[in-house]
């Protein structure tokens, strides 16, 4: 039944072709954004895209007022990475590599309204590294987005309705379960149908979708999965801002073994994300709670995950902020007992959320962290994060670290991570960034194999226009 409901990418493109954005013109609400690291949502238009007549005005290009129908941009990124004792590899490989990623986005609006179109290309490459090619690192010139929208203004409460069909990439809620990847060299995308009522800056929004994840192919054309389905409903209520914004969600995954899927599952993931500010925006908080029920392989699923954060920002020079948070997610309590408590983070982002090393995900985790950031000028931002990591279940695996003890005798303290990040916008269109992450292994790591100190460094330049 599902396979008849969700069009394959080829069918979708043949019927409708390429997108664009929901409502760029709807009435704005002065809602605040969450201050939680990396949790701000990109609903469909990539962050680097710009309405071309506005860009022409900003840069002084002649004739820009005639391009009010064009929404476009280019994002070109070059990054050098150095890893020492990488725990994501069985032999703790040390390696360096150059990564490049080029994104080109073109959207068309206000020409054949209510129909809008857009397309986005992605070219991701890796050089120097001796490691085997993986499709999360490399994806030669491919189609990241290609969808057509039916966009109708002022449908309910002066909010627009947008029906999108084709290939798309977007963030849902706080990006922990569905994300347009920002750090990883290759971005997640999906084929299918998405219906949005409301807009990014409106007082409320309802977003529903029925999708097939796109299987990445490093050399060939990416195609949608024949063995994996994703359905979802997410809501966004902003009328309570700045004190509170509420984002409930429900997601259903239906997967069978095949490319990219090792176990069959039919599981519901549900919960709520809430955040806000008070005391003249000095204090802020962010809370995300998720539950998971269903079937995975031959096991029933009963899992949970939470993120809770509170922060304080001084209204002084450099805008210093201190944040304290805890990430936690359940791990399997007793392997082989017919019930799994291992939380599945689905298609969410991990970088910045759980550590810059990339060693941790929202699974079998207790992760208290302390975050300090400053912004000396509008162009400079620096941050320091201290993280501690425990296994929620000592019998479940440290997934990214490829280690586990089903008897639970090797302890649960995985270690500590210290992350430092510095970014500088050299010009309006050029940003430089540097990151250093240090992982200090704990008793669990020492009890399950070699336990050297590990580090990750990168230097990155991003050009946007």
Specify whether the CB–CB gap between 396 and 342 falls below 8 A: yes
Name which residue leads in pLDDT, 54 or 296: 296
Q: Which residues are CB-neighbours of 439 under 8 A, at least 6 positions away?
A: 87, 355, 357, 359, 415, 416, 417, 453, 454, 455, 456
H or E element at residue 5: helix 2-5
Q: What percent of the chain has pLDDT over 90?
A: 80
Q: How many angstroms separate the CA atoms of 186 and 174, rounded? A: 20
CB 177 within 8 A of CB 269: yes
Residue 62 has pLDDT above 80, yes or no: no
Judged against a pLDDT cut of 50, whether residue 6 lies above it is answered with no
Residues with Cβ within 8 Å of residue 421, at least 6 apart in sequence: 356, 381, 382, 383, 385, 433, 434, 435
As a whole number of angstroms, the longest Cα–Cα distance in the chain is 71
- Nearest Cα to 273, choosing from 244, 233, 243? 244
* Per-residue pLDDT at 21 exceeds 50: no
Compute the mean pLDDT over every residue in the chain, rounded to the nearest whole number.
Answer: 91
Whole-number Cα distances in Å, 236 to 161, 177, 181, 241? 14, 16, 21, 11
pLDDT of 90 reads 94
Residue 64 pLDDT level (bands cut at 50, 70, 90): low
| Domain spans, the chain | 2-464
- pLDDT-derived band at 17, boundaries 50, 70, 90: very low
Pair type for strands 454-464 and 70-84: antiparallel
Show Cβ contacts of residue 446 under 8 Å, excluding neighbours closer than 6 positions: none
- Which pLDDT band holds residue 130 (cuts at 50, 70, 90)? confident
Predicted local distance difference test score (pLDDT) of residue 51: 83
Lowest-confidence pick of 11-15, 228-232, 238-242: 11-15
C-alpha 163: how far from chain center = 22
Question: Would you state the pLDDT for residue 286?
Answer: 98
> Region 213-239: what's the mean pLDDT?
93
d(C-alpha 341, C-alpha 333), whole Å = 6
Instruction: Tell me the CATH class for 2-464.
Output: mainly beta
More confident residue, 219 or 393: 393
Q: Is the pLDDT of residue 273 over 90?
A: yes
pLDDT one-digit tens code per residue, 245-257? 999 999 999 999 8
| Predicted local distance difference test score (pLDDT) of residue 252 | 98
Predicted local distance difference test score (pLDDT) of residue 297: 92
Instruction: Tell me, rounded to whole angstroms, the distance of Cα 15 from its chain centroid.
Output: 29
pLDDT band at 24 (very low <50, low <70, confident <90, very high): very low
Q: Is the pLDDT of residue 395 over 80?
A: yes
Is the pLDDT score of 100 beyond 80?
yes
Q: 12: pLDDT confidence band, cut at 50, 70 and 90?
A: very low
For CA atoms 28, 29, 32, 36, give the dihedral sign. Answer: negative
More confident residue, 415 or 200: 415
Quick one: pLDDT at residue 54?
Answer: 73
Predicted confidence band at 60 (pLDDT cuts at 50, 70, 90)? low
Give per-residue pLDDT as tens, 411-424.
999 999 999 999 99
Give the least confident one: 1-10, 145-154, 316-325, 357-366.
Answer: 1-10
**pLDDT at 2 exceeding the cut of 80:** no
**Hey, is 82 helix, strand or coil?**
strand
Dihedral (C-alpha) 237, 238, 239, 241: value to the nearest 10 degrees? 140
What is the 3 state secondary structure string of 11-79?
HHHHHCCCCCCCCCCCCCCCCCCCCCCCCCCCCCCCCCCEEHHHHHHHHCCCCHHHHCCEEEEEEEEEE
Please give the radius of gyration of the chain, using alpha carbons only, rounded to the nearest integer: 22
Lowest-confidence pick of 63-77, 161-175, 432-446: 63-77
pLDDT category at 208 given cuts 50, 70, 90 is very high
């Amino acid at each position: 039944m599902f396979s008849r409901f969700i069009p394959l990418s080829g069918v979708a493109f043949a019927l409708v072709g390429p997108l664009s954005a929901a409502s760029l013109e709807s009435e704005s609400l002065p809602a605040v954004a969450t201050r939680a690291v990396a949790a701000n949502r990109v609903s469909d238009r990539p962050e680097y895209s710009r309405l071309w007549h506005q860009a022409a005005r900003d840069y002084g290009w002649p004739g820009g007022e005639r391009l009010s129908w064009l929404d476009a941009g280019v994002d070109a990124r070059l990054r050098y990475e150095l890893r020492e004792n990488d725990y994501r590899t069985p032999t703790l490989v040390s390696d360096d590599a150059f990564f490049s990623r080029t994104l080109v986005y073109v959207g068309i609006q206000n020409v054949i309204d209510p129909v809008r179109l857009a397309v986005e290309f992605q070219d991701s490459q890796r050089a120097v590294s001796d490691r085997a090619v993986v499709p999360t690192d490399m994806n030669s010139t491919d189609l990241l987005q290609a969808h057509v929208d039916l966009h109708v203004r002022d449908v309910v409460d002066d909010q627009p309705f947008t029906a999108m069909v084709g290939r798309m990439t977007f963030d849902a809620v706080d990006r922990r379960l569905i994300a347009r990847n920002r750090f990883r060299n290759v971005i997640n995308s999906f084929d299918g149908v998405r219906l949005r009522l409301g807009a990014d800056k409106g007082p409320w929004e309802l977003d529903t979708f029925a999708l097939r994840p796109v299987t990445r192919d490093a050399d060939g054309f990416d195609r949608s999965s024949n063995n994996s389905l994703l359905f979802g409903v997410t809501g966004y209520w902003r009328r309570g801002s700045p004190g509170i914004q509420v984002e409930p969600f429900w997601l259903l995954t239906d997967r069978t073994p095949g490319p990219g899927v090792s176990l069959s599952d039919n599981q519901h993931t549900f919960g709520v994300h809430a955040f806000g500010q008070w005391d003249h925006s000095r204090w802020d908080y962010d809370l995300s709670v998720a539950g998971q029920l269903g079937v995975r392989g031959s096991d029933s699923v009963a899992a949970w995950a939470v993120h809770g954060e509170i922060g304080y920002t001084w209204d002084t020079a450099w805008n210093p902020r201190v944040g304290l948070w805890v990430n936690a997610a359940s791990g399997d309590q007793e392997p082989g007992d017919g019930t799994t408590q291992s939380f599945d983070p689905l298609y969410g982002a991990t970088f910045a959320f759980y550590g810059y090393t990339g060693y941790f995900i929202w699974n079998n985790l207790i992760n208290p962290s302390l975050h300090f950031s400053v912004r000396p000028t509008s162009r400079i931002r620096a941050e320091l994060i201290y993280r501690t990591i425990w296994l929620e279940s000592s019998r479940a695996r440290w997934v990214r670290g490829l280690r586990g003890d089903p008897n639970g005798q090797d302890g649960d303290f995985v270690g500590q991570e210290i992350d430092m990040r510095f970014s500088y916008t050299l010009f309006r269109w050029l940003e430089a960034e540097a990151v250093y992450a240090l992982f200090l292994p704990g008793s669990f790591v020492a009890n399950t194999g070699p336990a050297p100190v590990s580090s990750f460094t990168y230097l990155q330049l991003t050009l946007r226009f």
